[in-house]
Structures are given as C-alpha cells and as structure tokens.
C-alpha cells in the first residue's frame, strides 16, 4: 500500500477534519497534522558553480564556511542550485563551532569526487532556521544530491558535520555520504519538529560516542530547545513532533582498519529517546525505515538501551532491512519500543521482513516496553529471519499482554560462530574465485628420467607471454613426461594475463613453471613451458633459490620429539645472519626419520618474514615449521629456532572487570608468542560479556608497534581492543 495513502487512512479513521489539518487522538492526546504545501518561489531557478562563486578547493588552510554562506545569501529570491565541482573543500576553524545557515529552495549537486571536509576536531553545523513556531515556521525544499561530508577522529578529538533541521519540510538527502563526522554526543541529521523528510541511497559511517553511546545518525525529535544539535538564536519552539520520515536503501557502516577490525562502530541508525510536556503537542509518527543495511553498531548493554530506540511513537515501519554483526558483539536489545505515558497509546507498529544476522543480543532482539505507559496496539512483527549461533535468545519480549498482536513467522536459522582471523599488519590476502579448465583424463606412463623441482620463495607474480597466446601454448596437469600427464589448449583471451608462479622444474622434456590464475589458496594449478611465462630475471632466480633436497635417507636419532601446532597466521622475522651462518632448511626436523636439508641462498630469497604453524621440541633442538607466504598451500620447511626473531612479549599482573564489545580472536597464548597460540574461537563465544581480567601482556613487533592483550579468567587471551575501555 502507498505509504502516504496508508498514513492518511490511518489518521483519518474515526476522526474529523479541522481547518489547520487532521486531528488524531492517541490515548487522549491530540496530534495536529497540517495540510501544508510548501510554496516554491516563482522566479526562475538560479544555478551557481560553487567554485566559480568563491568556494576554495584543495587547500586545507582555507575555511569555506563564510565562502559558502556568501553564496547562499547572495541568492534568496529564486530557487537556487549550487553545483560543487570535484575537489576537497575544507570547513571549520579552531575558534569554535561554525554554522552555515540555509534558506528555502536550495539544491546542492555534488560532482563525483567533491567532498566537504572537516578536520582537526572542528565542528560545523548546517542550520535550518525557524524564526516562527508551527510546522510552517521554518524553511522548505532543501535537497542534497551526491554530497560527501568527511570528518576524522584523531587524538585532538572528533571532527563534526551536523544537519540541524528545525520546523523544516520537503528535505531530501539522496546518494550522500556521511563519513566519520558524527558528533560523539549528537547526530548526523537532527530532525526537530520537521516533516516530509527523505534520506535515501546514502551511506553513514563511524560513531565515536563518549558517554552517550545511544545517539543516532538520524534523530527523529521535537521542536524543543533541549533537542537541538545547534541552538539557533531567534528560533521559536513549540514541542511539535517530527513526522513523515522516509529512510530508504541506506548503509550504516563502521570505520574499519586495514585488517577488517572495527576502528569506529557504525552509527545507531535511527530513533529518539525524549518526550516533551507528556506529548501534549503530539508524538513522533509516520516513520519508515526500509531496505537499509546496518553493520557493526556499538553494543549497548544496559536494559534500557537499544541500537534502534523509539519512545512514544506511532505508525512506525521497520521493514526489509539487514542488521548484521561481523566484528561487533551483541547489544542487550537491538530494537526497543518504549511507552512512558498513561494517556498515549503507541499504535500501528511494524517490524517486518528484516534479517538479523549474527547479532546475538544479551536479552532479546525486540523489546516492547510499556511498563510505565499504556499497552501498545496494532503490533505486527512478522516475516523476520534470525541467523544466529545462539538460538536461546528470545526474538520478542514484552511486559504487557500481546495476545492480540501479530507476532508470527519469524524464523531462526543456524549460523556458525564467526571466526575472525588475526592477519599480520601489512599483509593483504586476496580471495579470488577458483578457475577451472576441463582437462583430458588420458592415463600416460612416466617417461621423464630427470625431474628436478625448485620452490624458492613460493609465489611470484608474472604475465602470460605473448608467445603463449599467439602460439597457443598448452596447459598441463603436470609436466610432460610425468605419470598421467595431460594437457589442454585454453582460450587464452578468457583467462587474463596475470599469473601466480610458485614452482620451477627442469625435466627431460624441458623447463616448466607451475602457475595459477589467482592467488587464492583454492586456485587450480597448471604447468606450462618456460616460454609461456613472462617473468623478471630476479623473480625467476628467486624460484631457483633453493637447491634440490639432499637424497640421503637419514635414520631417526631423536628419542623425544614433541609437537605443538598453532594458528598459521603467526609469524616471526628471519634472523639477519642466516647467510653468514649458512643456515639450511629441512624437510623435517633433524633427527626425525628421513630428514633432509636444502641449501639456501638467503640473499636471493628476498623475504624477511616467515609464517609459522608448528613448533617441535626434540633432542636435536627447538624447531619451527615455516612458509614464506600466507597461502595455506605454500611449501613448508623446518628451521631451527635460532633462525627466527620473535616479537618481544612482556607480562604483568592485572585485575579488572570489563565488558566485551568487539568480536576478536581468542587464543590460549598471546598471538605470535614463541609457544604458538591456538585458536579458541572468538569473543562472541564467551558466555558472559562482563569479564574479569587476570593478566596483561604487551607484544612489541619488529617495527616497534605495541599490541596489548588481556588474559580472561578462563585462561584465554584476546586483544585489549575487544573491551570497552572508555
């Protein structure tokens, strides 16, 4: 059903019309819905290029607040279109909060790559003045198209852009980006006593809340001095509620570190917490939150908090959204609808066809709370999908009788516990799809008399040579002359030119490279003649950096050999004296059955880091199994402990009780320790988010960066960043 039509039917049912609008009685409270149409100016539209008119781009020393205000003030008698060319336009100064005051009938059109930037902990408000009370007391017809508002969070504090919208109407944000610029104590968009608001196709990132973690990106509020993000001198207030708000097809995302972890949580998307004068001027109504994606909002753990929170609201539609946690842990409640008034009935509340994935809240997903107010009516909570590994958490709870509500067809499906891998700093792992080429299955006898293989540094990037495509080189399942070798001539144009080379072979049938068309661990490998690969001489030498294994079969001499496996993303640096001491690599630890060595030209290897997945203590010493890339199927070698330099780890007693808020890996040892840490799941698997800490460790890596870990009462370790340290 059309939203506006549905709203009119709902408001008019059983009520009469009055000269200023439609009366809606909500539990004894009269809501006034005016029949207002914003009057557009009759003059011809004026279009201004902001840069030509004085806005200064790509100069961080220039504060553009006055420049933009001058453009706005110069055109007040006709509809104004302000085009913003590509560039970075800086706003704000160190003297305090600055404002840009708008007037009616303005459209901002940003080119791709045009950014409004606020930094250095500065604050800028876009103000929608309301010199008069009433729904028509403010300005109207404001549109932001493709606008980007960028902030930053540094040691100096949070940089802020805020839209302070008071008694405004017909305001649209379309295709906008609000990036890391939300006030820690406020909002991106503050709607106070306003109506006919549309926010669509936009992205909101980052929220670094301080003592007010519940604040929303989009606040639906009242015309009241206390509600305003910016208190504009001369504005008139009347406690009118905001209504007719459409928030559709937007994304609410965290600011992430390069390794994927949350740096700043996503903003709480929408809601409000206050009511003024017991709602005598009406309550918030006709709010549509639909088709949005929300990922990794900050956990709110108290009984009264929720990531989407509405107090005394009617005609609410939360529909077809995706609510996802990847790196954040669950809140106490995700959605809370709260009635505090005996004279107000919250009516027509809809939570339908949403997906709640990996949220795992502590208490419930949806909380209907009327403990101090009247019962809610016309509740529909249907068609929702809950993907969770903790099925014991109720989806809906209420502290009043809900027998006349429609709460049905909400399906819970299993979700494996999310595993979060600790990726070493600076390492990038691509996840390309597996390529398959149909290969014949003819069985052939081995004819090669010589097959020597060289692994070197495992993976080198190269290109398919021009000869391979022009002469239609074949791909082989193994080198020609090997047992059961087969080949196929592919359609080279469909394969792409980039290849990944990890082996070189000299055989009776010639010289060969083993290649793949992606660096995924699942990629299929093929052999191709040497002429089919374009590889730099340095990379080619790296593939030949290892001699063949010694052929002597050594008997086992170790009486004791004990092994400990660990996460294979752990690493250590290679010692700098490996070449001088003529270090060898082993196929197994010395003293094990059939151990062999290979000589290494360490100057040609080119790597300074080794990735470790196993430790061995034996009569012959302490050993580690290593590889030179992060790929799981990379060639593995054993090396003596003295060939590696581990991160420095210091331990100290530490006693504190903290709340877990982020999903981080959990280990039985500190990550990258000499004993090798084992995977113990994630902080999402910890039964209680309130955790006692018993020990602290600080790990300093080869570059001097320090990471702090806490040992929990259960003996396992995780990063300190997983806890609420505020």
**Both 638 and 571 in a single domain?**
yes
Residue ranges in 340-496 assigned as alpha helix (H): 466-470
**Both 353 and 366 in a single domain?**
yes
Whether the predicted pLDDT of 647 surpasses 50: yes
Closest CA to 267 of 234, 225, 219, 231: 219
For residues 385 and 371, give the distance between their C-alpha atoms in angstroms, rounded to a whole number.
Answer: 27
pLDDT digits (tens, 9 = 90+) for 380-431: 999 999 998 777 889 999 999 999 999 999 999 987 555 566 655 433 323 2
For residue 510, what is the domain's CATH number?
A: 2.30.30.170
Would you place residue 290 in the very low, low, confident or very high pLDDT band (cuts 50, 70, 90)? very high
Residue 199 is assigned to a structural domain of this protein: yes
Residue 369 is assigned to a structural domain of this protein: yes
Confirm if 410 and 382 have CB atoms less than 8 A apart: yes
What is the sign of the dihedral through the CA atoms of 392, 395, 397 and 401?
negative
**Both 261 and 212 in a single domain?**
yes
Q: Does 82 or 458 have the greater pLDDT score?
A: 82
Residue 208 is assigned to a structural domain of this protein: yes
**Both 18 and 54 in a single domain?**
no
Beta bridge partner(s), residue 218: 189, 270
**In the numeric block, which tokens belong to residue 513?**
């490279």
**Both 637 and 652 in a single domain?**
no
Residue 284 is assigned to a structural domain of this protein: no
Last residue of a domain, one of 596, 627, 645: 645
Average pLDDT over residues 190-217: 94
The full 3-state SS of 200-227, as one line of letters, equals: ECCEEECECCCCCCCCEEEEEEECCHHH
Closest CA to 82 of 60, 51, 39, 112: 51
pLDDT digits (tens, 9 = 90+) for 557-603: 999 999 999 999 999 999 999 999 999 999 999 999 999 998 888 87
Last residue of a domain, one of 397, 416, 435: 416
Pairing status of strand 644-645 against strand 561-574: antiparallel
pLDDT of residue 547: 64
Whether the predicted pLDDT of 27 surpasses 80: no
Q: Does 79 or 23 have the greater pLDDT score?
A: 79
Average pLDDT over residues 459-470: 87
Would you place residue 38 in the very low, low, confident or very high pLDDT band (cuts 50, 70, 90)? very low
What is the sign of the dihedral through the CA atoms of 144, 180, 302 and 409?
positive
pLDDT digits (tens, 9 = 90+) for 126-178: 999 999 999 999 999 999 999 999 999 998 999 999 999 999 999 999 999 99
Average pLDDT over residues 89-104: 95
pLDDT of residue 552: 81
CA dihedral 439, 440, 444, 447 (to 10 degrees): -40
**Both 145 and 224 in a single domain?**
yes
Residue 441 is assigned to a structural domain of this protein: no
**Both 73 and 94 in a single domain?**
yes
pTM for the full model?
A: 0.77
**Both 31 and 59 in a single domain?**
no
pLDDT of residue 414: 82
Share of residues in the chain with pLDDT > 90 (%): 69
467: alpha, beta or left? (left if phi > 0; alpha if psi -120 to 50): alpha
Whether the predicted pLDDT of 260 surpasses 80: no
Whether the predicted pLDDT of 288 surpasses 90: yes
**Both 580 and 633 in a single domain?**
yes
Would you place residue 5 in the very low, low, confident or very high pLDDT band (cuts 50, 70, 90)? very low
For residue 162, what is the domain's CATH number?
A: 2.160.20.10
Whether the predicted pLDDT of 237 surpasses 90: yes
pLDDT digits (tens, 9 = 90+) for 507-550: 999 999 999 888 776 678 899 999 999 988 777 776 766 667 77
Q: Does 140 or 6 have the greater pLDDT score?
A: 140
pLDDT of residue 726: 76
Confirm if 344 and 310 have CB atoms less than 8 A apart: no
pLDDT digits (tens, 9 = 90+) for 548-560: 777 788 999 999 9
Residue 219 is assigned to a structural domain of this protein: yes
Residue 553 is assigned to a structural domain of this protein: no
Would you place residue 495 in the very low, low, confident or very high pLDDT band (cuts 50, 70, 90)? confident
pLDDT of residue 545: 64
Whether the predicted pLDDT of 15 surpasses 60: no
Closest CA to 498 of 430, 440, 425, 428: 430
Query: Distances from the Cα of 351 to the Cαs of 304, 336, 354, in angstroms?
Result: 19, 11, 7
Residue span of the structural domain in which 392 resides: 299-416
pLDDT of residue 25: 38
**Both 351 and 231 in a single domain?**
no
Confirm if 148 and 176 have CB atoms less than 8 A apart: yes
Closest CA to 45 of 82, 95, 7: 82
For residues 726 and 724, give the distance between their C-alpha atoms in angstroms, rounded to a whole number.
Answer: 6
**Both 12 and 133 in a single domain?**
no
**Both 342 and 488 in a single domain?**
no
For residues 551 and 644, give the distance between their C-alpha atoms in angstroms, rounded to a whole number.
Answer: 26
pLDDT of residue 460: 79
pLDDT of residue 458: 58
**Greatest CA separation found in the chain?**
102
Q: Considering its fold, how many domains does the chain have in total?
A: 6
pLDDT digits (tens, 9 = 90+) for 52-79: 999 999 999 999 999 999 999 999 999 9
Q: Which residue has the tokens 């040497």?
A: 530
Residue 437 is assigned to a structural domain of this protein: no
pLDDT digits (tens, 9 = 90+) for 318-342: 999 999 999 999 888 999 999 999 9
Whether the predicted pLDDT of 6 surpasses 50: no
Average pLDDT of the residues of the chain: 88
Would you place residue 437 in the very low, low, confident or very high pLDDT band (cuts 50, 70, 90)? low
Beta bridge partner(s), residue 333: 364
């Amino acid at each position: 059903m059309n939203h506006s039509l549905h709203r009119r039917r709902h408001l008019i049912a059983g009520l009469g019309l009055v000269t200023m609008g439609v009366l809606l009685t909500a539990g004894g409270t009269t809501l006034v819905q005016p029949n207002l149409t914003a009057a557009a100016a009759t003059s011809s539209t004026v279009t201004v290029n902001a840069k030509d008119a004085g806005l200064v781009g790509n100069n961080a020393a220039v504060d553009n607040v006055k420049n933009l205000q001058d453009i706005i003030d110069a055109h007040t008698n006709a509809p104004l279109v302000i085009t913003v060319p590509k560039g970075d336009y800086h706003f704000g100064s160190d003297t305090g909060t600055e404002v840009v005051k708008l007037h009616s009938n303005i459209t901002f059109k940003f080119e791709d790559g045009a950014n409004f930037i606020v930094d250095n902990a500065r604050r800028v408000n876009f103000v929608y003045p309301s010199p008069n009370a009433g729904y028509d007391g403010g300005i109207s017809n404001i549109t932001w198209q493709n606008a980007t508002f960028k902030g930053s969070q540094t040691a100096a504090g949070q940089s802020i852009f805020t839209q302070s919208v008071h008694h405004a109407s017909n305001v649209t944000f379309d295709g906008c980006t609000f990036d890391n610029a939300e006030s820690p104590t406020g909002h991106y968009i503050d709607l106070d006593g306003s109506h006919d608001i549309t926010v669509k196709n936009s992205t909101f990132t980052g929220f670094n809340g301080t003592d007010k973690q519940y604040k929303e990106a989009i606040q639906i509020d009242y015309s009241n001095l206390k509600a305003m993000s910016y208190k504009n001198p001369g504005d008139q207030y009347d406690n009118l509620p905001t209504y007719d708000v459409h928030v559709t097809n937007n994304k609410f995302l965290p600011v992430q570190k390069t390794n994927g972890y949350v740096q700043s949580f996503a903003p709480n998307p929408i809601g409000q917490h206050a009511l003024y004068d017991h709602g005598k001027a009406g309550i918030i109504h006709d709010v549509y939150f639909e088709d949005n994606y929300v990922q990794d909002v900050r956990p709110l753990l108290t009984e009264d908090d929720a990531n989407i929170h509405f107090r005394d609201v009617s005609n609410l539609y939360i529909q077809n959204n995706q609510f996802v946690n990847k790196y954040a842990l669950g809140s106490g409640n995700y959605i809370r609808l709260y009635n505090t008034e005996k004279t107000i009935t919250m009516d027509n509340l809809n939570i339908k066809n949403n997906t709640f994935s990996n949220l795992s809240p502590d208490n419930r997903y949806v909380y209907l709370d009327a403990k101090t107010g009247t019962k809610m009516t016309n509740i529909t909570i249907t068609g929702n999908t809950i993907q969770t590994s903790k099925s014991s958490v109720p989806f809906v709870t209420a502290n009043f009788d809900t027998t006349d509500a429609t709460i049905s067809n909400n399906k819970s499906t299993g979700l494996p516990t999310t595993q979060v891998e600790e990726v070493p700093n600076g390492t990038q792992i691509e996840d390309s799809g597996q390529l398959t080429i149909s290969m014949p299955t003819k069985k052939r006898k081995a004819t090669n008399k010589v097959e020597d293989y060289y692994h070197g540094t495992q993976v080198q990037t190269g290109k398919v040579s021009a000869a391979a495509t022009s002469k239609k080189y074949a791909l082989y399942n193994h080198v020609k002359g090997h047992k059961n070798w087969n080949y196929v001539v592919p359609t080279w144009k469909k394969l792409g030119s980039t290849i990944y080379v990890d082996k070189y072979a000299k055989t009776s049938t010639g010289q060969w490279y083993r290649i793949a068309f992606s660096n995924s661990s699942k990629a299929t490998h093929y052999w191709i003649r040497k002429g089919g690969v374009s590889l730099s001489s340095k990379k080619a030498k790296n593939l030949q950096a290892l001699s063949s294994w010694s052929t002597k079969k050594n008997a086992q001499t170790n009486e004791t050999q004990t092994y400990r496996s660990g996460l294979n993303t752990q690493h250590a640096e290679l010692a700098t004296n490996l070449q001088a001491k003529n270090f060898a690599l082993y196929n197994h630890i010395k003293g094990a059955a059939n151990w062999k060595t290979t000589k290494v030209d360490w100057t040609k290897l080119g790597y300074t880091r080794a990735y470790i997945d196993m430790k061995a203590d034996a009569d012959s010493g302490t050993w580690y199994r290593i590889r030179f890339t992060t790929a799981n199927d990379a060639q593995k070698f054993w090396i003596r402990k003295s060939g590696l330099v581990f991160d420095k780890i210091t331990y100290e007693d530490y006693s504190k009780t903290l709340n877990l808020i982020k999903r981080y890996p959990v280990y039985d040892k500190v990550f990258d320790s000499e004993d090798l840490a084992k995977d113990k799941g994630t902080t999402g698997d910890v039964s209680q988010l309130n955790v006692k800490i018993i020990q602290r460790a600080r790990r300093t890596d080869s570059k001097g960066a320090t990471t702090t870990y806490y040992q929990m009462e259960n003996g396992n370790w995780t990063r300190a960043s997983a806890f609420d340290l505020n």
